[in-house]
Amino acid sequence: MAKKKKDDNRPKLTPEQANAFIAGAGQVVEEPITLTLEKNYMPYAMSVIVSRAFPEIDGFKPSHRKLLYTMYKMGLLTGGLTKSANIVGQTMRLNPHGDAAIYETMVRLARGNETLLHPYIQSKGNFGKAYSRDMAYAASRYTEAKLEPICNELFRDIDKETVDFVPNYDNTMQEPTLFPATFPTILVNANVGIGVSMASSVCPFNLSEVCETTIALMKDPSHNALDTLKGPDFPGGASLLYDEEELERIYQTGRGSVKLRAKYQFDKETRTLEIVEIPATTTIEAIKEKIVSLVKLGKIKEISDIRDESDLNGLKIGIDIKKGVDPDKLMQKLYRLTPLQDSYACNFNILVHGYPKVMGVYDIIREWVDFRMDCVKRRISYDLKKKQEKLHLLKALGKILLDIDKAIKIIRETEEEAEVIPNLMIGFSIDEIQAEYIAEIKLRHLNREYILKRLDETKALEAEIAELKEILGSDRKIKSLIIAELKEVSKKYGQPRRTQFYYKNDVEEVEVEEDVPDYPVTLFLSASGYFKKITPLSLRMASEQKYKEGDFLSQEVEAANRTELLFFTDKQQVYKTRASAFEDTKASALGDYIPAKLGFDEGENVSCMITTTDYSGYMLFVFQNGKAAKVPLSAYETKQNRKKLNNAYSAKSPLAAAFFIGTNEEIMLRSTNGRAIVFNTALLLPKSTRDTQGVQVMTLKAKGSAVEKAFLLTAEQAEGLSKYRSKTIPVAGSFAKDIPDPDQLSML
């Protein structure tokens, strides 16, 4: 017998509908990519930014907040230590991620890891170290933890509706959206996050300085934060370059970078450099690997050994140096070549009302003050509501005080329990809540003394309610409460700065000569500014020098690859570089165009090229007005290794010629009216100021005349021109009809 088919309640398709459905299957519907991204990618991107990567104004990411709130609910603010595995397991009720991710978050918040300036978790066991890549933390089953006392400031009044609560992911419990922190935690502890298409990097600041700055800005919005907030303060210490201009930019815009360098000490007995603090952006392993790599490449020859000597006392890297090596100069070299000096990039990207926003310190403090004022207002409103409710009940006591016997009589004569409350409401003209309160009073409290005490409490409550209402209506008084809390936090948890400052003028830049191979070269400079560096071998094989049409050789100097070059320009500036900065070339090439290579100003051209290795000797400037200036070449040497110097020579008169002279040289000057003089540069006293006007050497009597040419003379040339010699200056000079053309002076 055939089985009866079950009833099928699914909708039936007509043959036409079925055919249409089959025909449409597998079809691709075209839509603009912008619409696809908006529907699919943007929700994902915003979810990563809002729910994972960026901190909010309370200073925490969601993962931090879920962990700390779980520990708070576990009673770990006042209780003893508990196994980290237990904390991780409990946190999974709020955080749907795996236990490994939760525990890693916990490690970074712990004191033992040394990531935070003010850790939130007290730890016991191996929690690794932020300054070591290979020092792994122990598994959660081996470590223990509880909340640090500073967490009292995070959770203060959290049960008084100071912040909003939302359901957790499975709707089984509530969690806070923010913490009502009593101080700007967002600026006190570092926070780094990478979202989609944007990132966040907030450096830490000293707690006492942050509190002081917040108070100052609340009292005076025009306060200069640099006066109280000196700069970032990192848990690992190190030294920070105090650059006021850069710090001001960070404080105003939230973007910029600060330069950190390691601290060291030198043990003379063992000749060991001991690195005791390193920048927050690097690790012990990264530093060791870089130094070992440089030693193998031969770029650092002063080091014989390097080792990690970190122990329970803290970080230490030992570097053994060879005999005769200056430890301070070696450290300057290591700062330049290794992560012992590094930059911390600041990008204060913070979630404000659910949206990422890059803010400077001023804006962050203003946002935090607004947030904290809202928390305090909500706390006061909560306290006010509770006191009003209590006052409402106590007023009912005041009414039955007039006739306690009547209240007892009403209760005794009421036959049904359900009628007690309505009868009390009618008998004393009170509401249901008050009647419930009176009905629940114990017999032992139905005495005059108890009720009189409650009435005295009523007066105190009325005064407190009036005060709370007054505070709630005054922003000034609410700010006073916040300021008092900030002072209390600063006094209780403040600590001295760990990161100290160093300044630009404290730094002596050391050139790393060993990095540059040294060999002989010949330098060529053309009149229009083309430069060539040619080795002797290439020069011997060359036929002739190549120049652009109309260009010609201006200077030819034999030098070395490490020679320093000074290019003086027609705009009274000098550009400094090295011969090693240019590639070796051939005579057949045009060479490097110096104005483009060194970034000259528009319309600026080369006047002359000077070579030096030790900045000894002098620069001699001869001006068209007949004056000459002798300036020590050392005036152009800078500790900061600057590449461009302004006011290289005087701008009062056009330059006729510029020379480098060793000590005393013979110089010949010719004027446009046909006069000439020869004198020794010993007659000129050196001037320490680069742009000095110099002294009058040639007196120009004829109207419109000027110094036209100036030449360095050899001893033989000077002897042949002895009749033009002058033993004193200034002089007008003699007419020079029989002197050869200046370009042929070298043939004498």
Residues recognised as catalytic: 142
- Residue 13, exposed/middle/buried by CB under 10 A (0-12, 13-18, 19+)? exposed
Give the end-to-end CA distance of the chain in Å, rounded to a whole number: 137
The CA dihedral of 174, 175, 178, 184, to the nearest 10 degrees, is: 130
Residues 6+ apart with CB under 8 A from 84: 103, 106, 125, 140, 141, 142, 143, 144, 145
Distance CA 467, CA 473 (A): 10
Q: Yes or no: say if 610 and 661 are a contact pair by the CB < 8 Å rule.
A: no
Let me know how long the chain is: 748
Distance CA 112, CA 130 (A): 9
Three-state secondary structure of 263-332: EEEEECCCCEEEEEECCCCCCHHHHHHHHHHHHHHCCCCCEEEEEECCECCECCEEEEECCCCCHHHHHH
572: alpha, beta or left? (left if phi > 0; alpha if psi -120 to 50) = left
DSSP string, 554-567: EEEEEEETT-EEEE
Q: Token pair for residue 595?
A: 């104005």
Q: What is the CA radius of gyration of the chain?
A: 41
Helices vs. strands in the chain: H and E counts, helices first: 21, 33
Q: How many angstroms separate the Cα of 567 from the Cα of each of 279, 338, 524, 623? A: 38, 31, 13, 18
Nearest residue to 523 (alpha-carbon basis) of 584, 605, 597, 595: 584
Nearest residue to 519 (alpha-carbon basis) of 497, 500, 504, 534: 534
Question: Which helix (H) or strand (E) segment is 456 a member of?
Answer: helix 448-472
Q: Residue 265's beta-bridge partner residues?
A: 274
Maximum separation of any 2 CA atoms in the chain, in Å: 147
Distance CA 327, CA 272 (A): 9
Q: Token pair for residue 674?
A: 């046909």
DSSP-derived pairing of the beta strands 500-502 and 239-241: parallel
Angle at 574 between CA 572 and CA 579, to 5 degrees: 155
DSSP string, 387-413: HHHHHHHHHHHHHHHT-HHHHHHHHHH
